[in-house]
């Protein structure tokens, strides 16, 4: 059977404002906004896995409204071949994100949760959660639904990868049931403070008893695992827009793991893919193909 990456998570339409600098509290900054673009951490990760994966099936389970914003996010997923049969259309507006990007490529994002609040673990059947599946989750849908799905997946043999983004409370029992946790440095700091440990991969690995990756942006990524430490070197690029780069990293990593890659080469591919994504505007629109990733690695 073809391995499956099943992404459970958020979908959103992103309205991207290009500004000379990010607004401070109480400040109005004039700039320009483009058309609505595909976004939402879950949909971005599914798109990254589909574009950047090699020979694995990709499915996305989440919730959107019956509105034009839903089409913004689902159309590219469909084009990329993502299975949307587990997607729910609900009586709430599709999630929206106001994304501000400054002249240096730094960003600030406000998200309207909308339909994402109605994403439910029962949209994913038990048949999807066997050993051939990599389940990938993030934190823009209800934490209780994530926790329920993680525990079911664990019991049925799927490999479970969670990107704790944005950092938000999650049952420790569910975190301990993960195979792999992926966090960036601010998320690691938040989690380490909550667990009372250092915010590095090794300390989080010891505190939770699971494999942990900390992504380090332009410094690469480091994983602390039961088998030892894995580091992945960065690729040097000039970023224009880093929105969605973390999603790209997670989606491509999950696709690599589903294809049977060991963690080190899967992390190297994810680093290459995220570097490419940083050179392009938008989140979903920035996800590279497998050929582009291969060229970067070469
Ligand atoms: O990670 C980037 C994403 O976060 C954006 O696409 C936006 O929709 C928010 O969910």
Q: What is the CATH number of the domain that holds 211?
A: 3.40.1190.20
- Extended strands (E) in 21-177: 32-33, 37-39, 57-61, 63-65, 88-90, 95-101, 107-112, 133-137, 159-163
Token couple for 77:
């997923």
Residues contacting residue 55 through CB under 8 Å, at least 6 positions apart? 2, 3, 259
Q: Are strands 95-101 and 37-39 parallel, antiparallel or unpaired?
A: unpaired
> Does residue 154 have its Cβ closer than 6 Å to ligand 1?
no
Residues contacting residue 288 through CB under 8 Å, at least 6 positions apart? 51, 52, 248, 273, 276, 277, 296
The answer, yes or no, to whether the previous bond of 166 is cis (omega within 30 of 0) is yes
Residues contacting residue 65 through CB under 8 Å, at least 6 positions apart? 89, 90, 91, 92, 93, 94, 114, 115
Residues of the chain where predicted confidence (pLDDT) is lower than 70: none
Query: 198 phi and psi, to 5 degrees?
Result: -65, 155
Helix, strand, or coil (residue 275): helix
pTM: 0.97
Closest ligand 1 atom number to CA of residue 283? 6
Closest ligand 1 atom number to CA of residue 37? 6
- Which DSSP letter does residue 2 get? -
The protein residue whose alpha carbon is closest to atom 1 in ligand 1 is: 244
Ligand 1 pocket, mutate which of 37, 41, 60, 163 (most atoms under 8 A from CB): 41
| Predicted pLDDT of residue 56 | 96
Residues contacting residue 191 through CB under 8 Å, at least 6 positions apart? 164, 167, 183, 199, 204
Closest ligand 1 atom number to CA of residue 165? 1
Distance from Cα 243 to the centre of ligand 1, integer Å: 7
Chain-centre distance of CA 276, in angstroms? 16
The protein residue whose alpha carbon is closest to atom 9 in ligand 1 is: 40
> 215 to each of 165, 197, 224, 240, how far by Cα in Å?
12, 18, 12, 19
| Predicted pLDDT of residue 48 | 98
| Predicted pLDDT of residue 65 | 98
Q: What pLDDT, in 10s, does the model give residues 223-257?
A: 999 999 999 999 999 988 999 999 999 999 999 99
Distance from Cα 226 to the centre of ligand 1, integer Å: 31
| Predicted pLDDT of residue 105 | 84
| Predicted pLDDT of residue 121 | 98
Distance from Cα 40 to the centre of ligand 1, integer Å: 4
| Predicted pLDDT of residue 104 | 85
> Does residue 44 have its Cβ closer than 6 Å to ligand 1?
yes
Please state, as a whole number, how many other Cβ atoms lie within 10 Å of the Cβ of residue 243: 29
The protein residue whose alpha carbon is closest to atom 6 in ligand 1 is: 39
Catalytic residues: 247
The answer to whether 136 and 251 are in contact (CB under 8 A) is: yes
Distance from Cα 283 to the centre of ligand 1, integer Å: 7
Angle at 161 between CA 58 and CA 115, to 5 degrees: 65
Domain count, the chain: 1
Which residues constitute the domain of residue 153?
A: 4-297
Distance from Cα 81 to the centre of ligand 1, integer Å: 21
Closest by Cα among 109, 111, 100, 110 to 20:
100
> Does residue 97 have its Cβ closer than 6 Å to ligand 1?
yes
Closest ligand 1 atom number to CA of residue 97? 8
Which ranges in 53-195 belong to alpha helices (H)? 68-79, 143-156, 172-176, 185-195
The protein residue whose alpha carbon is closest to atom 10 in ligand 1 is: 40
Distance from Cα 227 to the centre of ligand 1, integer Å: 32
Query: 277 phi and psi, to 5 degrees?
Result: -60, -35
- The kind and range of the H/E element at 248 are helix 245-258
| Predicted pLDDT of residue 53 | 84
| Predicted pLDDT of residue 1 | 82
| Predicted pLDDT of residue 140 | 98
- Give 44's Cβ-side CA count (13 Å radius): 31
């Amino acid at each position: 059977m073809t391995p499956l990456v099943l992404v459970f998570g958020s979908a959103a339409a992103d309205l991207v404002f290009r500004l000379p600098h990010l607004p401070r509290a109480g400040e109005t900054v004039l700039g320009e906004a483009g058309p609505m673009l595909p976004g939402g951490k879950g949909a971005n990760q599914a798109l990254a896995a589909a574009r950047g994966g090699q020979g694995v099936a990709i499915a996305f389970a989440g919730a959107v409204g019956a509105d034009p914003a839903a089409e913004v996010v689902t159309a590219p997923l469909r084009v990329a071949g993502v299975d949307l049969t587990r997607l729910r259309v609900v009586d709430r507006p599709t999630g929206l994100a106001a994304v501000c990007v400054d002249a240096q490529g730094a960003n600030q994002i406000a998200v309207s949760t909308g339909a994402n609040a109605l994403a439910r673990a029962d949209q994913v059947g038990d048949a999807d959660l066997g050993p051939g599946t990599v389940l990938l989750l993030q934190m823009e849908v209800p934490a209780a639904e994530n926790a329920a799905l993680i525990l079911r997946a664990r019991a049925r043999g799927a490999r479970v990868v969670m990107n704790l983004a944005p950092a938000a409370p999650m049952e420790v029992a569910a975190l301990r049931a993960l195979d792999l946790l992926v966090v960036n440095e601010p998320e690691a700091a938040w989690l380490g403070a909550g667990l009372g440990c250092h915010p590095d991969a090794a300390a989080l690995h010891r505190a939770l008893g699971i494999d942990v990756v900390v992504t380090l942006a332009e410094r690469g990524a480091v994983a602390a695992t039961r088998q030892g430490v894995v580091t992945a070197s960065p690729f040097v690029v000039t970023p224009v827009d880093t929105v969605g780069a973390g999603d790209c990293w997670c989606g491509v990593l999950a696709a690599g793991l589903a294809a049977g890659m060991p963690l080190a080469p899967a992390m190297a591919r994810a680093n290459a893919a995220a570097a490419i994504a940083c050179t392009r505007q938008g989140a979903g629109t920035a996800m590279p193909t497998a050929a582009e990733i291969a060229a970067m690695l070469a």
